[in-house]
């Protein structure tokens, strides 16, 4: 039963990567890395109508952004390719052919309309709408006749003859009664495989050892187990991970709030933060550790600690985790990631040592990188806008005195303006005027930044530099 660990993530390329899918991918990846196994990426694009190459690109990009590197896949190849189901049609056909020859499947010539009518009838009679086996055991002559009518057959696998059970790694033993399933289609009338058939053939041929996927696939497992048996192949282990739901317990929708990896990226969430948060949705560290790097996650991950109940996506907590990572990542990287937000705002010089220092100063208060142009805005303008709540500090009498006092003190002082010299000047002015605390600092803060909140004032002033500080002080002092 023990074979090399090989897991796969098999998205349908029908849009951007959803956070739910991202978590499934993450669990697969963590499991593979933890076990030293292979992480395979397979594209399930048999649904021609919905699959697009742009979507495939988008999904690959999202995955790469998250840092979930795959060992085999459509773009990197591998020994078990091809990795796009649309390129494996011949493989499915061969296997279906074999099953047909072995009598394990049969051709069904029923049309959509006929099936639909039977379904409708069953429903009104209060019966379970299930395929009635009309084409089971058709003679060659009968098939020929149906075929000559121009009917294109599907291929169906026989209904189960007994109950089926799976020992799920996160759910334990789950049993499926034989009655719940009729003869099911494995090949459509146009020759394309259905999901359940393609998955089994692929997972088997790609020697997937563990199928870690969303809970919605649990009922499919019965069909798949049946197909493994029919094909004479050993099934993998299964682990069905619960769904991620909305605050109101419904399926996470695109409607309210962000739900795709791309959206979170645009809002300025670091990939390690999103990854970190997603890992905590349904899994927990044995020591309750919450802020973790990719490496720490890999080290600690264990399928046995994966929860079986659905989890609600909480953007507040994601933001909290993001704030941590923004503060703790190397400043060079954070500055790099922050740059596009400045560029989008058309702010000048998002580069260089000063830029990095500014990002370093303001990142303390950030939950999302997208907030950074505002947080650092006053550094990049000669005349920062004075916000309403800052105005009173500039208009008061003591405020004016402080500004003028500081201005002359600073003007009298030679050399560079650094943190220490600013503090020294502030102290001197305060003593002279008998002002301290807010009365001393707030007018200066308002004059330099236009706001009443922000990083430590001495640091702000030092970063602004002597010229800007003097200019802003004199302009503010003259305002009144």
Partner RNA sequence: GGCGCCAUCGUCUAGCGGUUAGGACGCCGGCCUCUCAAGCCGGUAACACGGGUUCGAUUCCCGUUGGCGCUACCA
Catalytic residues: 254
- DSSP string across 141-180: HHHHHHHHTTPPPEEEEPPPSS-EEEEETTTEEEEE-GGG
In the bound complex, what is the minimum distance in angstroms from residue 323's beta carbon to RNA? 6
The dihedral over CA atoms of 357, 363, 364, 369, expressed in degrees to the nearest 10, equals 180
269 interacts with RNA by CB under 7 A? no
Selected from 452, 465, 471, 474, the binder of RNA by CB under 7 A is 452
Name which of 107 and 468 has its Cβ closer to RNA. Answer: 107
In the bound complex, what is the minimum distance in angstroms from residue 217's beta carbon to RNA? 6
In the bound complex, what is the minimum distance in angstroms from residue 204's beta carbon to RNA? 16
Selected from 20, 160, 377, 455, the binder of RNA by CB under 7 A is 455
296 interacts with RNA by CB under 7 A? no
In the bound complex, what is the minimum distance in angstroms from residue 66's beta carbon to RNA? 18
Name which of 125 and 414 has its Cβ closer to RNA. Answer: 125
If DSSP codes are grouped into helix, strand and coil, which group holds residue 237?
Answer: strand
Interface region with RNA, contact rule CB under 7 A, candidates 86-94, 96-104, 192-200, 230-238: 192-200
Selected from 129, 133, 340, 465, the binder of RNA by CB under 7 A is 129
Among residues 154, 199, 197, 168, the alpha carbon closest in space to that of 12 is found at 199
Selected from 65, 80, 228, 320, the binder of RNA by CB under 7 A is 320
| Cα–Cα dist 410/407, whole Å | 5
In the bound complex, what is the minimum distance in angstroms from residue 188's beta carbon to RNA? 3
268 interacts with RNA by CB under 7 A? no
Among residues 401, 136, 339, 99, the alpha carbon closest in space to that of 231 is found at 99
134 interacts with RNA by CB under 7 A? no
Exposure string for 103-123, b = 16+ CB within 10 A, e = fewer = ebbbbbbbeeeebeebeeeee
Interacting positions 153-172 with RNA (CB under 7 A)? 154, 171-172
How far is residue 236 CA from its own chain's centroid? Answer: 26
Selected from 195, 341, 342, 355, the binder of RNA by CB under 7 A is 195
- DSSP string across 269-322: --HHHHHHHHHHSSB--TT------HHHHHHH--GGGB--S-EE--HHHHHHHH
String marking each residue 98-117 x if it binds RNA according to CB under 7 A: ------------xxx--x--
How far is residue 54 CA from its own chain's centroid? Answer: 18
Count of Cβ atoms closer than 10 Å to residue 330 Cβ: 8
Q: Which residues make beta-bridge pairs with 72?
A: 40
In the bound complex, what is the minimum distance in angstroms from residue 233's beta carbon to RNA? 20
| Cα–Cα dist 72/40, whole Å | 5
Q: Which residues make beta-bridge pairs with 306?
A: 283
Interacting positions 410-449 with RNA (CB under 7 A)? 437-438, 440-442, 445
Selected from 94, 308, 354, 432, the binder of RNA by CB under 7 A is 308
Name which of 36 and 304 has its Cβ closer to RNA. Answer: 304
Residue reference for tokens 């099911």: 184
In the bound complex, what is the minimum distance in angstroms from residue 185's beta carbon to RNA? 4
Interface region with RNA, contact rule CB under 7 A, candidates 255-263, 303-311, 332-340, 352-360: 303-311
Selected from 3, 317, 427, 479, the binder of RNA by CB under 7 A is 317
Interface region with RNA, contact rule CB under 7 A, candidates 65-73, 226-234, 313-321, 465-473: 313-321
Selected from 35, 61, 215, 263, the binder of RNA by CB under 7 A is 215
| Cα–Cα dist 336/78, whole Å | 33
Strand 38-41 to 105-108 pairing? unpaired
In the bound complex, what is the minimum distance in angstroms from residue 342's beta carbon to RNA? 20
207 interacts with RNA by CB under 7 A? no
Q: How far is CA 371 from CA 262, 340, 359, in A?
A: 17, 12, 11
| Cα–Cα dist 250/247, whole Å | 8
Interacting positions 1-40 with RNA (CB under 7 A)? 10, 12
Selected from 91, 243, 428, 470, the binder of RNA by CB under 7 A is 243
- Give the number of residues in contact with RNA, rule: CB under 7 A: 81
As given in the structure block, the two tokens for residue 289 are: 């550790």
Name which of 3 and 60 has its Cβ closer to RNA. Answer: 60
Cα separation of the two ends of the chain: 83
Residue reference for tokens 């650092």: 376
Selected from 69, 97, 121, 250, the binder of RNA by CB under 7 A is 250
Interacting positions 357-386 with RNA (CB under 7 A)? 364-365
Name which of 252 and 477 has its Cβ closer to RNA. Answer: 252
56 interacts with RNA by CB under 7 A? no
Name which of 148 and 346 has its Cβ closer to RNA. Answer: 148
Strand 105-108 to 154-157 pairing? antiparallel
Strand 172-176 to 210-214 pairing? unpaired
């Amino acid at each position: 039963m023990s074979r090399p660990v090989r897991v796969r993530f098999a998205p349908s390329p029908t849009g951007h990567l959803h956070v739910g899918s991202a978590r499934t991918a993450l669990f697969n990846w963590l499991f593979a890395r933890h076990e030293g196994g292979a992480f395979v990426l397979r594209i399930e694009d048999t649904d021609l109508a919905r699959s697009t190459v742009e979507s495939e690109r988008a999904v690959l990009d999202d995955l790469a952004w998250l840092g979930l590197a795959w060992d085999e896949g459509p773009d990197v190849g591998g020994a078990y390719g091809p990795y796009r189901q649309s390129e494996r049609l011949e493989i499915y056909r061969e296997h279906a052919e074999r099953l047909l020859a072995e009598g394990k499947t049969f051709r069904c010539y029923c049309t959509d309309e006929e099936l639909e009518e039977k379904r409708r009838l069953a429903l009104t009679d209060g019966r379970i709408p299930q395929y009635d086996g009309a084409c089971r055991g058709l003679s060659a002559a009968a098939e020929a006749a149906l075929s000559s009518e121009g009917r294109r057959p599907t291929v169906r696998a026989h209904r189960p003859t007994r109950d089926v059970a799976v020992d799920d790694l996160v759910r334990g033993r789950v049993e499926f009664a034989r009655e719940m399933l009729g003869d099911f289609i494995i090949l459509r009338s146009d020759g394309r495989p259905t999901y359940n058939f393609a998955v089994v053939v692929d997972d088997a041929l790609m020697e997937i050892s563990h199928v870690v996927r969303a809970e919605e696939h649990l009922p499919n497992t019965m069909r798949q187990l049946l197909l493994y048996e029919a094909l004479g192949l050993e099934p993998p282990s299964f682990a069905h991970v619960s769904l991620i739901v909305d605050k109101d317990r419904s399926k996470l929708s695109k409607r309210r709030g962000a739900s795709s990896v791309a959206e979170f990226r645009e809002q300025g969430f670091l990939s390690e933060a999103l990854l970190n948060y997603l890992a905590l949705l349904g899994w927990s560290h044995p020591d309750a550790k919450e802020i973790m790097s990719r490496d720490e996650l890999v080290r600690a991950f264990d399928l046995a600690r994966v929860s079986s109940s659905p989890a609600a996506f909480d953007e507040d907590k994601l933001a909290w985790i993001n704030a941590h990572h923004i503060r703790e990542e190397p400043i060079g990287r954070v500055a790099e990631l922050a740059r596009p937000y400045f560029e989008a705002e058309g702010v000048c010089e998002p580069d260089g040592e000063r830029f990095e220092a500014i990002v370093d100063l303001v990142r303390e208060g950030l939950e999302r990188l997208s907030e950074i142009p505002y947080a650092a805005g006053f550094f990049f303008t000669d005349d920062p806008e004075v916000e309403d709540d800052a105005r009173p500090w500039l208009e008061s009498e003591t405020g004016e005195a402080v500004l003028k006092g500081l201005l002359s003190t600073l003007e009298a002082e030679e050399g560079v303006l650094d943190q220490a010299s600013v503090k020294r000047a502030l102290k001197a002015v305060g003593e002279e005027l008998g002002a301290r605390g807010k009365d001393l600092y707030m007018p200066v803060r308002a004059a330099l930044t236009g706001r009443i909140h922000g990083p430590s004032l001495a640091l702000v002033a030092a970063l602004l530099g002597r010229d800007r500080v003097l200019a802003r002080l004199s302009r503010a002092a003259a305002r009144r």
